[in-house]
Structures are given as C-alpha cells and as structure tokens.
C-alpha cells in the first residue's frame, strides 16, 4: 500500500492519498480545490492513476476538488450515501467495504460533526474527517446536535450567575469573525466542488482555478 498525507494551509485540511501497488490506482480522501493540481501531481509522480475521491462529509470550511479531479483525471466521486448528492458516483454505506484493488476501506458512520459524517478505517489508521481532531473533536452543533448541557456545565462564559445579557456582552466584546467560507463551501460541496455565485473577492482563490481551466 502507498500512503501519503497532504496539507492545505488556508483551511488547515489534511488530504490523504492511498495507492494500490497491485492495480496502480489511487484515491484521495477529502481533497481540496486549491490543491487539486498538486495532489494530482503527487499521484502521477508515484506512477498511479486517480480512481476515486472520497469525502467524509459535506465540508463548511473549504470546497472539495472532487468534481475538478473528475473532469481532469476521470476519477469517480464517492461519499456518504446518506447525503444523497446527485453528483456522487458511489454512495458509501456504513459497514459495507469500499474497495479499490487491494485497498479496502471500512466505512463507519460517525454522526456528530454532521449528521451523515463518515470515517474510514484501513490498515491500522482511521481517516476521521472532522469527527476527531488533534487533541480534540469536531464541533457537534452544526446540524441537529446540541452541546447546550455541556456548555452550561463547563464553559466559563456560561452558567453560574451569568445572565443572557452578560453572555451577549461578553461575546460581542470578543469580536469573533464569522466563519469566512461557510456560506459558499456548503452549497459548493453539495455540488461536489462547484463554485457557487457571489463568492467575495478575497475568497476567489478557491474558484480561480475552475474559471481558468479549459475543463470548466
């Protein structure tokens, strides 16, 4: 088996390249649009052909390069069947092995970060998407999850004698930024990597390579 970890610094996303030495095929788990050419170059350097892109979930912090790579390299798009995305070629199901040559991923439904989140186990590794992070876990309150009970018990900004007005004033004082790409990444990823309309100028780097490519 061939394995390589790749990194996209803008969204701090790890992409994983797994190759089959028997068939010469490769797959990418959670590829990111700005680094599609780099990732494909890595695969070509290894003498492999990209067969699949595999998503763990619909991301909110970046746009996938799944569609771009399908257009350029002819790869197929795989992702959780529960998402029911028309652009997906292969729907991944909990517990049903996903095979590519001698490489066999075991899909594990891991709801929490998103309702339909999947992790993939293979060869002693777990590709956990945003379910598990370095010394942490992904947020579980994006969709139907709730962390209110935990926050009241453990968050120093809540609980005790704090009022709603206290909390609002504290949070406003922190001047936290709105998630910079969530309004565009989610619809973009529901299309397996399209660039949605209305992307602000400072985020155009995510879409420039689509617009400039002859592949469209």
The pLDDT of residue 200 is above 80: no
Whether 158 maps to a domain, the answer reads: no
- What's the domain count of the chain? 1
The pLDDT of residue 85 is above 70: yes
Whether 108 maps to a domain, the answer reads: yes
| Upper half-sphere CA count for residue 153 (Cβ side, 13 Å) | 4
- pLDDT (tens digit per residue) in 144-198: 777 778 888 888 888 778 899 999 999 999 998 887 778 888 888 888 988 777 7
Whether 164 maps to a domain, the answer reads: no
What six digits make up the tokens of 179? 């998630």
Sign, CA dihedral 63-66-70-74, equals positive
- pLDDT (tens digit per residue) in 21-44: 999 999 999 999 999 999 999 999
Domain that holds residue 119: 2-137+179-212
Whether 73 maps to a domain, the answer reads: yes
Whether 61 maps to a domain, the answer reads: yes
Whether 160 maps to a domain, the answer reads: no
Whether 149 maps to a domain, the answer reads: no
- In CATH, what number is assigned to the domain containing residue 14? 3.60.15.10
pLDDT at position 213 is 40
Confidence of residue 212 (pLDDT cuts 50, 70, 90): very low
pLDDT at position 206 is 64
Whether 174 maps to a domain, the answer reads: no
- DSSP, collapsed to helix, strand or coil, labels residue 89 as coil
Task: Tell me the percentage of the chain whose pLDDT exceeds 90.
Answer: 62
Buried b (16+ CB within 10 A) or exposed e, 107-121: bbebbbbbbbbbbbe
Mean pLDDT of the chain: 89
What CA–CA distances, in Å, run from 136 to 7, 56, 133, 140?
18, 17, 5, 12
pLDDT at position 211 is 44
Confidence of residue 199 (pLDDT cuts 50, 70, 90): confident
The pLDDT of residue 205 is above 70: no
The pLDDT of residue 201 is above 60: yes
More confident residue, 55 or 215: 55
pLDDT at position 202 is 66
The pLDDT of residue 141 is above 80: no
More confident residue, 47 or 149: 47
pLDDT at position 151 is 81
pLDDT at position 216 is 28
Specify the range with the lowest mean pLDDT, choosing from 53-62, 115-124, 194-203.
194-203
């Amino acid at each position: 088996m061939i394995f390589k970890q790749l990194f996209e610094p803008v969204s701090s996303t790890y992409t994983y390249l797994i190759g089959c030495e028997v068939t010469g095929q490769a797959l990418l788990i959670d590829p990111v649009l700005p680094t599609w050419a780099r990732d494909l170059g890595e695969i070509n350097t290894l003498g492999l052909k990209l067969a699949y892109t595999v998503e763990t979930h619909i991301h909110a912090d970046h746009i996938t390069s799944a569609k771009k790579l399908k257009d350029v390299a002819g790869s197929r798009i795989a992702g959780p069947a529960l998402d029911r995305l028309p652009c997906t070629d292969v729907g991944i199901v909990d517990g049903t092995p996903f095979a590519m040559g001698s490489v066999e991923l075991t899909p594990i439904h891991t709801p929490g970060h998103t309702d339909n989140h999947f992790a993939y186990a293979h060869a002693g590794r777990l590709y956990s998407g945003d379910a598990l992070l370095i010394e942490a876990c992904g947020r579980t309150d994006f969709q139907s999850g709730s962390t209110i009970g935990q926050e009241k018990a453990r968050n120093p900004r809540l609980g005790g004698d704090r009022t709603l007005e206290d909390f609002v004033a504290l949070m406003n004082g922190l001047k936290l930024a709105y998630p910079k790409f969530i309004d565009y990444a989610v619809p973009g990823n529901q299309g397996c990597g399209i660039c949605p309309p209305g992307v602000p100028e400072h985020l155009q780097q995510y879409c420039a390579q689509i617009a400039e490519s002859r592949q469209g």
